[in-house]
Structure 1
């Protein structure tokens, strides 16, 4: 594992230096700004780039807030905290006791401690105590402890299913089976008109920044009363019978905070394919894509998936090199597959836990398909 150590250096010099060697001794790679910067003040860009390559982010909260970057008005540690949350990264937080925190650090600590779920938190007084606790936690991670935690919902969430909304549907009328993936943050008051307008202005750039869409693909934004959307045209044209992997076709952000994607399923000359092996990876990739948009910030979310026009898709294996010679379609009229949104999960579902969440979702969709029975 790559373990990123995030903290101000002042007031935590001994602890930071001891953890680097400790993590290496446990067989993992420590990542910290001292190792890639000759400057006393770390480069914000370098820190965030290093964080993106890490599997775990270990935060140390000491007396100092750290250097404030004019671009964000926040310290490096504060920026790294927000980036790690947005990515759904496993976060370990250790607070130093019996030291006086400066006012800005008190405020930042209050932000970190406001999140009761999805984050492991502890405290320490001495360097040796910190080392003991970090060793124990890393060994738990080595044992395969999931970064996710699930909780049953007491009431049905207010999810918007794209298939039910005909207001903006760039593929309407084409009878194309589409995979829908929805992420709804819990305990979120929603976006105001002003906030939705601001995010709308940056949504195309956010999508391009993920690297999922080629730079020469024209993205088309649109707006309705309760959501903004960006439609994505299909990739380079291919012959009608050439196998094609699934592709992102639309991204939506609702005023409720829900982020939704639609994507085509893999297909060949005989139609769309609900592949029990390829579908989990496609859902996991979409979850990580939503996380990389850096829109959802709440620590608990609801995730749901569906497939529209599913009678036109067959449960089969997708071969990217050769079309099938036969396909079994459902004899039933058109129907929609939907997973039941009956529990919440931590934000790690949009990052390190994406594959774990994607598996049950894909299996539920395949089970519902009439030809799978």
Structure 2
């Protein structure tokens, strides 16, 4: 894909504000993860884990394989810009703390936030006041489910960070089966669109989200088929883990670029926007996987911020360059805020003859 010129300082500031705003509504909720240990061998060598699906008989129980590869770092200008942005996001938390203005608005999306005796959990969209109808929220994601190696890494990072949080911190950890990178929302919970193939989204945009209509069966089938065709024409991306980031929005992230000259994700996003001009306006602009979210907005304090930032640096040093290739994408009609719980259509990458599989 074409390279972009270096970003001016004003543009950089705009990008980080956009990224942190998007992360404030990213999917990061689920059951608290049990701790597991994932230690990479030879931590001082610049070689890293590659996680891909495997059909080899020697690995039938894991369906994944780890190998050691050299890491060339971010290559394209876009990848370099993303890597720099991830670094600024980490620095924003390290030099400050949590951003309560980003966290406070999200509390209404969860149960149990105010009760000190309860562990918070996400609300179903039908439990919101006022509620959203089924089908209001639809998104395409890259699941991390194809690799047990990546799942163990994510679980270990999450467990390590959770032990560093001050007592009483309200936190959610994403369920292992729900780790993902969001590619595109055809319809956001804060901005539902019934028919994103139409420039106006097929709805009256002056209405509140709860008052907007949902797609008809015919509109949903057409939307699904368009997404299927676009995914089937998309080669398998090779993601590269760049940095573990605790953002000031409260979200703990694995952040990614693509290996080498790859720009598969950005190209797919561009084609989705062309196909769906009436899709929700807010879209993911980076590649990230949310591991946990802190939903209490009080400051963590300098000792905790320093400890978490140091842990992020340590994990980044171990994991930078880890590679992951999915075989499928999931198109989801989400039923519960930010968890990708809901009806899943499993779409095969790079295979025009593969029909969607409902899950």
Is the TM value for this pair above 0.5?
Answer: no
TM-score (norm 2): 0.26
TM-score (norm 1): 0.25
Higher relative contact order (CA 8 A, sep 6+): 2
